[in-house]
Amino acid sequence: MAYRSGESFTILTVCTGNICRSPAAERLFRSAFEPEDEVAVESAGTGPLVDEPIHGPMAALLRGIEVDVEDFAARHLAEDMIERADLILAMTREHRSAVVDLLPAAVRRTFTLREFARLAAQVDRSELDAQAGPEATPGARLQVLMDLAARHRSPVPAEQDDVVDPFRQEESVYRESFDQILPAVRTICRIALDL
């Protein structure tokens, strides 16, 4: 039986400060799903700037594609958050390791964001459809997708799986980071929503 934290399928995105990369991924995922999709999304940081909003340049990129950035406050990654999450999407391998160090039992449901998108794209959609069933919610599809994607895990260079840290860098680095996050989120959502 696959791990399932509750009624909704919960995604937890993780970075360092929880003001750039992980909130961008969180808000992008949230903008893609409706309440009836049974997907909840949260984020946290391994060394967060607690209670800070989404950092200005990243917030501007999100606003540029009409994604809500309001009512956000950075928070510290805690073991109970990991326990509640069905899928943990870290921004780098280092963050993925930090999650597993906090809760080793989460290893099978912890990926980097780009790694999970890459693996999800390799999943045979007909197999996913057959296992999830025709009436599956996006949350249920994500559960099956996670299990199928894990089968494709294999070593690749870190730069294929990590999202660059833009904090206190030039705006071009924020754009580079955003351009790594956005297609990964879109790939995962497209498969979850059966588009």
pLDDT tens digit sequence for 184-193: 999 999 999 9
Q: Is it the case that residue 4 has pLDDT exceeding 80?
A: no
Task: Please check whether residue 103 lies inside any domain of the structure.
Answer: yes
What confidence score (pLDDT) does residue 7 get? 75
Could you tell me which of 98, 97, 90 has the C-alpha nearest to residue 165?
A: 90
What confidence score (pLDDT) does residue 93 get? 96
Q: Is it the case that residue 81 has pLDDT exceeding 80?
A: yes
Task: Please check whether residue 1 lies inside any domain of the structure.
Answer: no
- Predicted TM-score (pTM) of this structure: 0.94
Task: Please check whether residue 4 lies inside any domain of the structure.
Answer: no
What confidence score (pLDDT) does residue 6 get? 58
Task: Please check whether residue 3 lies inside any domain of the structure.
Answer: no
pLDDT tens digit sequence for 95-111: 999 999 999 999 999 99
We report the CATH number of the domain holding residue 161 as: 3.40.50.2300
Task: Please check whether residue 74 lies inside any domain of the structure.
Answer: yes
From the CA atom positions of the chain, what is the Rg in Å?
Answer: 16
The structural domain count of the chain equals 1
pLDDT tens digit sequence for 126-148: 999 999 998 899 999 999 999 99
Q: Structural domain of residue 107, as residue ranges?
A: 9-192
What confidence score (pLDDT) does residue 35 get? 87
Task: Please check whether residue 170 lies inside any domain of the structure.
Answer: yes
Q: List CB contacts of 91: < 8 A, sequence separation 6 or more.
A: 13, 14, 15, 16, 21, 22, 25, 112, 113, 162, 163, 165, 181
Element (H, E) at 183: helix 171-192
Task: Please check whether residue 95 lies inside any domain of the structure.
Answer: yes
Task: Please check whether residue 171 lies inside any domain of the structure.
Answer: yes
Query: What is the 3-state secondary structure of 111-173?
Result: EEHHHHHHHHHHCCHHHHHHHHCCCCCHHHHHHHHHHHHHCCCCCCCHHHHCCCCCCCCCHHH
What confidence score (pLDDT) does residue 116 get? 97
Structure-block tokens of residue 92: 């780098």
Could you tell me which of 33, 191, 37, 193 has the C-alpha nearest to residue 125?
A: 191
